[in-house]
């Protein structure tokens, strides 16, 4: 036990240090940033799941070769430069980059990381989509990586932005992929070059990272970053107002005006993002789950039924009334002017209930049928409300729809296991141009070739596949643009999926914190700073 004199001396010393700090303008106490996430990541394995909630957290720990800025333009990251000669890409690494354990980054770490991606088992949305056409990765010297593709492929630098680089030594193990996803989830092997390093993860409670002392870039603003998953939007705002968190994703759209009028709060809106919220429809199986009243026939196989379901949707009313204007109605896979999107498809078709009913009758379903619509609860802005609104719109044409909403992790597991014949889902991960959603969402499923990685409806159209394959190897931008626009138009004309809207990105934070916002909706801790 300390004596009164000892306690007094300690108090005097602490006060003296604090006073000196104030005079010098420095901080003595560690400054934490507490972020309320709308959805908890499904894993800490950076190669397990191409999901925004995973990517934004793992890229706090790991860097890719190429980064993207707030408007999706590629910029140097671990690679300071790159060049191409035919189908061979050469990446030059930054010198003197260290991992969070102090060991140096080398080309062998890049080779290990890229070769690990296809070896990670049971991925709900594999990162192999970023390795399309790649046939070989090799270390030329400690700071040079050579990537060879099957044919000329212009998207290699864009795709590298989706592939975090791990420490080969730290992530090594007896499994084919080295450290397993389970091991990485426990923190074993989580060694990267990012601005922060792993401290702990209590599922459902919080993720804690601390500043990486070896970080090669600009010093991060915070000593620690604490992520707290709070799925309910109202609860996120309550936590912000109570001072329990500093920064929240997706505040309730109905509360934005009140938050903007609060002098202690700051609201950042970025829109439209390239986050497409859409409906996937199983047009593959003969008797998918969740459909009744059709005598064992899958009505979603019929183009006319899919068109009827699209015509029943009043996208503009949904955006205005359910999303409070925090979205842009969608008629294609990417928002214009993103590369591959079409200007003439910016305007969404008007709802037409009578035409929709006529199409159902022509297809042999004059009395409609019964459908179950799968939806996550808390992954996208107002996702359950959107699903319920769609169900009501389909009911008007005789498709009696019930909504099966579940926690995001449960929903994605069920979607991956083809438990739905119809599902509401979003797509935002990618290279920032049309080839990515076409490849992931529309192309025929082929896991080995990185195609259809999120095509849970197993839609297939060989003609679209052919066009996308041509576009992916076309080096002439004008020709590639025309091919991507053609593939996009064909997919929409066939109602391969039903686009609903592009979300706007919204963040709320304490007044003394600033964030510029990003088109990809990611909450990047490195880009959150004290307000100036």
Residue 465 pLDDT > 80 = yes
C-alpha–C-alpha distance, residues 356 and 344, integer Å: 23
| Residue 447 CB neighbour total at 10 angstroms | 12
| Beta-bridge partner residues of 361 | none
Average pLDDT of the segment spanning 504-521: 93
Best CA proximity match to 47, nearest among 57, 58, 56, 39: 58
**pLDDT one-digit tens code per residue, 24-79:** 333 334 499 999 999 999 999 999 998 889 999 999 999 999 998 887 888 999 99
CB 263 within 8 A of CB 245: no
Domain 32-270+506-530 has CATH 3.40.190.10: yes
Please list the residue range(s) of the chain that carry CATH number 3.40.190.10.
Answer: 32-270+506-530
CATH classification for the domain delimited by 275-503, as one of 3.30.470.20, 3.10.105.10, 3.40.50.1970, 3.90.550.10: 3.10.105.10
**pLDDT one-digit tens code per residue, 203-241:** 999 999 999 999 999 999 999 999 999 989 899 999 999
Distance of CA 121 to the CA centre of its chain: 20
Please list the residue range(s) of the chain that carry CATH number 3.10.105.10.
Answer: 275-503
Confidence of residue 243 (pLDDT cuts 50, 70, 90): very high
Average pLDDT of the segment spanning 451-472: 94
C-alpha–C-alpha distance, residues 128 and 447, integer Å: 8
C-alpha–C-alpha distance, residues 86 and 348, integer Å: 40
Q: What is the pTM of this model?
A: 0.78
Mean pLDDT score of the chain, rounded to an integer?
Answer: 91
Indicate the SS3 state at residue 230: coil
């Amino acid at each position: 036990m300390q004596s009164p004199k000892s306690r007094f001396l300690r108090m005097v010393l602490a006060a003296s240090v604090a006073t000196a700090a104030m005079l010098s303008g420095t901080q003595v106490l560690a400054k934490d940033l507490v972020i309320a996430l709308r959805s908890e990541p499904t894993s800490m394995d950076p190669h397990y799941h191409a999901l925004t909630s995973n990517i934004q957290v793992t890229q706090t720990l790991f860097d890719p070769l190429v980064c993207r800025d707030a408007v999706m333009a590629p910029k140097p990251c671990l690679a300071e430069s790159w060049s191409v000669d035919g189908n061979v890409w050469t990446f030059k690494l930054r010198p003197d980059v260290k991992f969070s354990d102090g060991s140096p980054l080398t080309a062998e770490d890049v080779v290990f990381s890229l070769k690990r991606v296809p070896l990670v088992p049971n991925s709900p949305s594999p990162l192999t989509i970023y390795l399309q056409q790649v046939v070989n990765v090799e270390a030329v010297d400690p700071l040079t990586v050579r990537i060879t593709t099957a044919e000329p492929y212009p998207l290699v630098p864009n795709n590298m932005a989706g592939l975090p680089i791990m420490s080969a030594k730290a992530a090594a193990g007896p499994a084919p992929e080295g450290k397993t996803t389970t091991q990485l989830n426990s923190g074993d092997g989580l060694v990267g070059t990012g601005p922060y390093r792993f401290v702990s993860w209590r599922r459902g409670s919080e993720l804690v990272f601390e500043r990486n002392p070896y970080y090669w870039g600009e010093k991060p603003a915070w000593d620690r970053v604490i992520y707290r998953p709070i799925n309910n939007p109202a609860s996120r705002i309550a936590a912000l107002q109570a001072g329990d968190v500093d920064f929240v994703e997706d505040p309730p759209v109905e509360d934005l005006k009140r938050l903007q009028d609060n002098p202690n709060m700051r609201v950042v809106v970025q829109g439209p993002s390239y986050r497409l919220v859409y409906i996937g429809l199983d047009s593959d199986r003969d008797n998918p789950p969740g459909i009744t009243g059709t005598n064992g026939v899958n009505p979603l196989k019929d183009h006319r039924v899919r068109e009827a379901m699209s015509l029943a949707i009043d996208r503009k009313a949904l955006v205005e009334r359910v999303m409070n204007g925090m979205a842009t109605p969608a008629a294609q896979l990417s928002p214009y002017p993103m590369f591959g999107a079409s200007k003439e498809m910016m305007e969404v078709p008007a709802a037409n209930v009578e035409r929709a009913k006529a199409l159902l009758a022509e297809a042999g379903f004059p009395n409609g049928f019964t459908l179950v619509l799968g939806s996550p609860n808390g992954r996208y802005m107002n996702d359950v409300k959107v699903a319920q609104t769609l169900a009501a719109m389909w009911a008007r044409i005789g498709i009696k729809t019930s909504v099966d909403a579940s926690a995001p992790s449960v929903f994605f597991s069920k979607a991956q296991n083809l438990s739905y014949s119809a599902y509401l889902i979003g797509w935002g991960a990618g290279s920032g141009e049309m080839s990515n959603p076409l490849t992931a969402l529309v192309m025929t499923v082929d896991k080995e070739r990185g195609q259809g990685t999120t095509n849970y409806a197993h839609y297939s159209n060989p003609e679209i596949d052919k066009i996308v394959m041509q576009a992916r190897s076309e080096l002439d931008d004008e020709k590639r643009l025309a091919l991507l626009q053609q593939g996009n138009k064909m997919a929409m004309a066939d109602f391969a999926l039903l686009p609903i809207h592009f979300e706007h990105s919204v963040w709320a934070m304490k007044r003394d914190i600033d964030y510029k916002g990003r088109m990809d909706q990611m909450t990047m801790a490195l880009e959150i700073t004290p307000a100036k």
